[in-house]
Amino acid sequence: MTHDPLIALRPWEAPEVTSWGRLPMNAVDRRSGSLPQDGDWRFQLLSRPDAPVGGSWSPAPVPGVWTMQGTDDLPQYLNVRMPFTEFPPLPPAENPTGVYEREVDVPADWAGRRIVLQVGAAESVLLVHVDGRPVGISKDSHLAAEFDLTGLVAPGSSSTLRLTVVKWSDASHIEDQDQWWHGGITRSVLLYATDPLHLADVTVRAAYSGELRVDCRVREAGGALPEGWYVSGDLDGLPLTQDAEFDRLNAEDERVSDFLGEARMRTVVPDVRTWNAETPELYGLTVRLHRADGTVADTSYHRIGFRDVEIVGRDLLVNGERVYIRGVNRHDFHPLTGRTVSYDDMRADLVLLKRFGFNAIRTAHYPNDPGLYDLADELGFYVVDEADIESHDHAHEIADDPRYLNAFVDRVSRMVLRDKNHPSVIIWSLGNESDYGANHDAAAGWVRRHDPTRPVQYEGAAKLGWADPGVASDIACPMYAPLEDCVAHALSGEQTKPLIQCEYSHAMGNSNGTLADHWAAIESTPGLQGGFIWEFWDHGILQRVSDGRPVGRGGAGLYDNGVAAPGYRWAYGGDFGERLHDGAFIADGVVFPDRTPKPVMYEHREIAAPVRIETYRHEGIVLGNHQHFRGLDWLSGTWELSLADGRVLTAPAELPDLRPGQTAAVPLPFALPVDGGEAWLTLRITTARDEAWAPAGTVVCLPQVRLREAVPGGSVDPANRFSSAPVEVDFSSAPVQVDFSSAPVQVDADGLLVHPLLTAAPALSLWRAPTDNDELGGMALRWRSWGLDALVRKVVDVRRDGDRVTVLAEYAAEVGVVRHVQVFTPVEGGVRIEESAELPDALADVARVGSVFETVPGLDLMEWYGPGPWESYPDRSGGAPVGHHSVPVDDLFTPYLRPQESGGRHGVRHFRLSAPDATGLTVALDEPRQVSVTRYRAADLSAVAHHDQLVPRPGCVVHIDAAHRGLGTASCGPDTFPSYLVAPGVHRWSWALRVL
């Protein structure tokens, strides 16, 4: 039995107790002038919170999570299910509890001052003791907790600070977000001192009109109303002064001895530079609290932006403009530290997002590190700030449970109190996946009263009906809604709220199919305003393969380009020996765990292009400015004309002076050569000068238009067109035996092409290593049940007709036989292969129909004409401009965490694979085809769970697909559209293989 009152209270199983002894949240930034307490603390891990402290101490860095710092309590990944079976509000009895201790030297010149401890974030219950005395309790794992230590510590001497962090609690049930479970102190700890009478909060309202209002709340514990004290402000040199006496907020109550008062400052800034995500103009506001003699007692610095947010009709307007929300969901994540992120990390995240056309962030699913909002203000992002409430596994029980009422209002209100002065924050979110109940309405009510300047959203409430007038959501913010439902709603005449999906286009593995289709619909359907892709990060934790341990902070340099160094890997659910886990569902971001962009990022960059080629008309190229606020003067352009025959012409582009929404025709910069075949014009848009997020010369977008189609019939290689008669072969007569030894086309007795550069002859492929979407969407299961992963080729007939060899093979799937015909004809330097495959109707919706072959080693460079250089698929191909591309074969493969179909290139017209001595092969295709060249067979990829288990083959595995299924997003959300599916029936394709 413990005598410690904080322990005796058992706050880890009392949802009503959200805090004890904790100071109110506020927006005064105390980071500067504070005494940082980051660094090594003494640490021990108890098996339960009421276990005695007394074991041995070892050093642990703060901030940090012990689950990544060498303890036996390792990270665990679960999506919805709680990691323990206890019902809310109970945690399990076995409950890892970290005890952190250190001596703090309190400066002597803090005598007479108010001394405050700030713990940036601790999960999930924090107990604070100083010199063995209880100080306070806090829950709410992603917001800071402050405690007044005045009187508990002595200036000029040292005190022992103990922070006890209990991992599981009643609060865990409302922190059931889809991410790794950790335990520890994830954000910085600091001490600061103020005058006893201090700025307790500052609330800034800065409107688009230039009107500025600053409300300053001051407080003194046990003090009296001071004579002559006042506040002043300074807005980048423009002085502000208090416009009336302090309003004594508690003046009515004789019993209250504290002074709590409010003073206001107002001004109107002439010719104000307003804030928006494109031109995030900030002003520096310094607020000072003065003593009667004018000396400064307290200061608070804010970077503020003048802007309005409102909903008018069904449109969300920023400064009167219906802005598109090109958003992403972002967790605080790092592959070495788990959840502790540095300012530089966050800056790198946001810079990358900016470079790829994103303008919005949802802080999924809790208030992010404070630095994130500073950066969003500075770099220009619209932020949906989300409270730390997700009760996914027990959503229904908790939404109306009065024991959790405090926690809901506490978490939402503390977020608003902290972040209200950030211009980037345009919407408050009440949390995620917690059903919908009275606790939400209570929180929404608090926000509406406290901050009427921003809309509130909550997906759980919006789910009731996108036009439902209920109080908890001003935005229709569904997740993964089918596009057709969104469009139908916008066209229904019933829409009352902006439709902005809080999550869409699930980025798990090789995914984000139909993103461009979504945006085509959004930009052409009034009422649709965008959404937030799920999600930014693949949360892979860097793990040593030998002992299965997280590497932790020392791992910098052990990864590159999305791939962990040999001996290491990106761990996902189950890799730490978790009994319960949700596997690779944690790897669903648009960037790899080291922030390397996945190919979808290039697709997004083009979708978000600020300048676009609208059309090509006889008077020239029509350009449009697709921004909301900015002209084109910050951009430079270069024209690039790419001809199928390999020629590329370039010329500088004069960008017209266009206001947002305007278009103008500019003359064609080149006389289009009469020859050369298909011609594509690309406008390479780069930053003209340094932006906060990109140096001058950074690519912003690559809009493209086709100026001329391929020669009639569509091919650059007329020799390679299908003979006008389709391949219809009558195999009813007896096969003819031919001696191929002298023939220019050599086919062995099995009808397989014999070729000096091929180690495996072209065969039919109907299978791809299932993507996460294929697996979780159920397609892979169906394909396996049809036997498509292990089809056996049976040669039925081989015959020669002059120099033409025809091979018929059959592949018996469970639901019918696929007939495959190959006709080989010699052409100059090689062989032309005409193929057809007939899929029975039962084989509807297969992964691909095409040829697969393998080459000898050494052909390590791939050059092609078609979209590139990035990976592209039929429903994710818009971000790759058509041109001549050259990429080492090893770099064509995208190392998705769980190996799967990868490295495809859509719309390839022809390609060559060569060795350094320029020997090799070329393939000319009858029409643009999906091609992939990698070191892996589909079976190699689907046999392993991690990238490090793959053994590259020395040669190339080449797929040429007549049809390839779109990627869709079915791992969580809609599948691809029917137009991207592979239909049954007859598929025909042809190609010419030549030796270089």
Binding residues vs Mg ion (CB under 5 A)? 178, 392, 433
- Residue (of 781, 761, 757) closest to 770 by Cα position: 781
How many CB atoms neighbour CB 437 within 10 A? 22
The CA-atom distances, in angstroms, between 290 and each of 162, 197, 223, 232, 648 are: 35, 10, 16, 8, 67
Q: Which does 519 bind (CB under 5 to 8 A by kind): ligand GAL, Mg ion, none?
A: none
The secondary element (H helix, E strand) that includes residue 486 is helix 483-491
* Smallest distance from Mg ion to CB 178, Å: 4
Query: Which residue lies nearer to ligand GAL by CB, 178 or 538?
Result: 178
- Contact between 498 and 529 under an 8 Å Cβ cutoff? The reply is yes
Query: Which residue lies nearer to ligand GAL by CB, 217 or 365?
Result: 365
Query: Which residue lies nearer to ligand GAL by CB, 827 or 972?
Result: 972
**Parallel, antiparallel or unpaired: strands 920-934 and 904-914:** antiparallel
Question: Rounded to an integer, what distance in angstroms lies between the CA atom of residue 546 and that of residue 566?
Answer: 11
Site for ligand GAL in 348-387 (CB under 6 A): 365
Cβ contacts of 964 within 8 Å, gap of 6 or more: 768, 847, 848, 850, 873, 874, 904, 906, 930, 982
Question: Rounded to an integer, what distance in angstroms lies between the CA atom of residue 232 and that of residue 689?
Answer: 37
* Smallest distance from Mg ion to CB 331, Å: 12
Pairs from 751-755 (Cβ < 8 Å, separation ≥ 24): 751/795, 751/797, 751/798, 751/807, 751/808, 751/809, 751/822, 752/807, 753/822, 753/824, 753/831, 753/833, 755/831, 755/993
| Tokens read off for 50 | 């009421």
Query: Which residue lies nearer to ligand GAL by CB, 411 or 506?
Result: 506
* Smallest distance from ligand GAL to CB 774, Å: 16
* Smallest distance from Mg ion to CB 762, Å: 46
- Contact between 864 and 784 under an 8 Å Cβ cutoff? The reply is no
Q: Which does 902 bind (CB under 5 to 8 A by kind): Mg ion, ligand GAL, none?
A: none
Q: Considering only residues 632, 658, 685, 972, which one is a binding residue for ligand GAL as defined by CB under 6 A?
A: 972
Query: Which residue lies nearer to Mg ion by CB, 386 or 871?
Result: 386
Query: Which residue lies nearer to Mg ion by CB, 776 or 960?
Result: 776
Query: Which residue lies nearer to ligand GAL by CB, 588 or 854?
Result: 588
Question: Rounded to an integer, what distance in angstroms lies between the CA atom of residue 357 and that of residue 606?
Answer: 8
Query: Which residue lies nearer to Mg ion by CB, 535 or 948?
Result: 535
Query: Which residue lies nearer to ligand GAL by CB, 477 or 701?
Result: 477
Q: Which does 771 bind (CB under 5 to 8 A by kind): Mg ion, ligand GAL, none?
A: none
| 3-state SS class at 239 | strand
* Smallest distance from ligand GAL to CB 584, Å: 11
Q: Considering only residues 13, 332, 386, 588, which one is a binding residue for ligand GAL as defined by CB under 6 A?
A: 588
* Smallest distance from Mg ion to CB 589, Å: 16
Strand order in the sheet with 620-625: 611-617, 620-625, 663-666
**Side chain identity at residue 235, one-letter code:** L
Q: Considering only residues 298, 349, 474, 503, which one is a binding residue for ligand GAL as defined by CB under 6 A?
A: 503
Decide: is 479 part of the binding site for ligand GAL (CB under 6 A).
Answer: yes
Decide: is 772 part of the binding site for ligand GAL (CB under 6 A).
Answer: no
| 3-state SS class at 192 | strand
- Residue (of 800, 874, 873, 811) closest to 837 by Cα position: 811
Q: What is the 3-state secondary structure (H, E, C) of 558-595?
A: CEECCEECCCEEEECCCCCCCCCCCHHHHECCCECCCC
Query: Which residue lies nearer to Mg ion by CB, 168 or 324?
Result: 168
Burial label, 164 (beta-carbon count in 10 A; 0-12, 13-18, 19+): buried
* Smallest distance from Mg ion to CB 473, Å: 17
* Smallest distance from ligand GAL to CB 875, Å: 20
Q: Which does 972 bind (CB under 5 to 8 A by kind): ligand GAL, Mg ion, none?
A: ligand GAL
Q: Which does 503 bind (CB under 5 to 8 A by kind): ligand GAL, Mg ion, none?
A: ligand GAL
Q: Which residue is nearest to Mg ion (CB)?
A: 392
The CA-atom distances, in angstroms, between 370 and each of 122, 141, 144, 362 are: 14, 13, 9, 14
Q: Which residue is nearest to ligand GAL (CB)?
A: 178
Query: Which residue lies nearer to ligand GAL by CB, 67 or 79?
Result: 79
* Smallest distance from Mg ion to CB 695, Å: 39
Q: How many residues does the chain have?
A: 996
The secondary element (H helix, E strand) that includes residue 861 is strand 861-867
Which phi and psi angles does 812 have, rounded to 5°?
-95, 105
Q: Which does 588 bind (CB under 5 to 8 A by kind): Mg ion, ligand GAL, none?
A: ligand GAL
Query: Which residue lies nearer to ligand GAL by CB, 176 or 451?
Result: 176
Query: Which residue lies nearer to ligand GAL by CB, 326 or 330?
Result: 330
Q: Which does 534 bind (CB under 5 to 8 A by kind): Mg ion, ligand GAL, none?
A: ligand GAL
Which phi and psi angles does 386 have, rounded to 5°?
-115, 135
* Smallest distance from Mg ion to CB 80, Å: 5
Query: Which residue lies nearer to ligand GAL by CB, 433 or 517?
Result: 433
Query: Which residue lies nearer to Mg ion by CB, 392 or 905?
Result: 392
| Tokens read off for 781 | 């299961």
**Residues forming beta bridges with residue 164, ordered by sequence position:** 99, 127
Burial label, 675 (beta-carbon count in 10 A; 0-12, 13-18, 19+): exposed
* Smallest distance from ligand GAL to CB 433, Å: 5
* Smallest distance from ligand GAL to CB 506, Å: 6
| 3-state SS class at 818 | strand
* Smallest distance from ligand GAL to CB 821, Å: 43
Site string for ligand GAL, 432-461 (x = CB under 6 A): xx----------------------------
Site for ligand GAL in 523-552 (CB under 6 A): 534
Q: Which does 479 bind (CB under 5 to 8 A by kind): ligand GAL, Mg ion, none?
A: ligand GAL
**Parallel, antiparallel or unpaired: strands 746-747 and 315-318:** unpaired
Decide: is 511 part of the binding site for ligand GAL (CB under 6 A).
Answer: no
* Smallest distance from ligand GAL to CB 72, Å: 27
Q: Which does 379 bind (CB under 5 to 8 A by kind): Mg ion, ligand GAL, none?
A: none
Q: Which does 603 bind (CB under 5 to 8 A by kind): ligand GAL, Mg ion, none?
A: none
Site for ligand GAL in 46-85 (CB under 6 A): 79
- Contact between 343 and 389 under an 8 Å Cβ cutoff? The reply is no
- Contact between 390 and 177 under an 8 Å Cβ cutoff? The reply is yes
The CA-atom distances, in angstroms, between 996 and each of 592, 716, 757, 993 are: 37, 17, 10, 10
* Smallest distance from ligand GAL to CB 942, Å: 22
* Smallest distance from ligand GAL to CB 177, Å: 6
Query: Which residue lies nearer to ligand GAL by CB, 208 or 532?
Result: 532
Number of residues that bind ligand GAL (CB under 6 A): 13
* Smallest distance from Mg ion to CB 79, Å: 6
Q: Considering only residues 178, 201, 386, 926, which one is a binding residue for ligand GAL as defined by CB under 6 A?
A: 178
- Residue (of 651, 713, 721, 720) closest to 677 by Cα position: 713
Q: What is the 3-state secondary structure (H, E, C) of 387-438?
A: CCCECHHHHHHHHCCHHHHHHHHHHHHHHHHHHCCCCCEEEEECCCCCCCCH
Site for ligand GAL in 411-430 (CB under 6 A): none
Positions touching ligand GAL (CB under 6 A) are 79, 177-178, 365, 432-433, 479, 503, 506, 534, 585, 588, 972
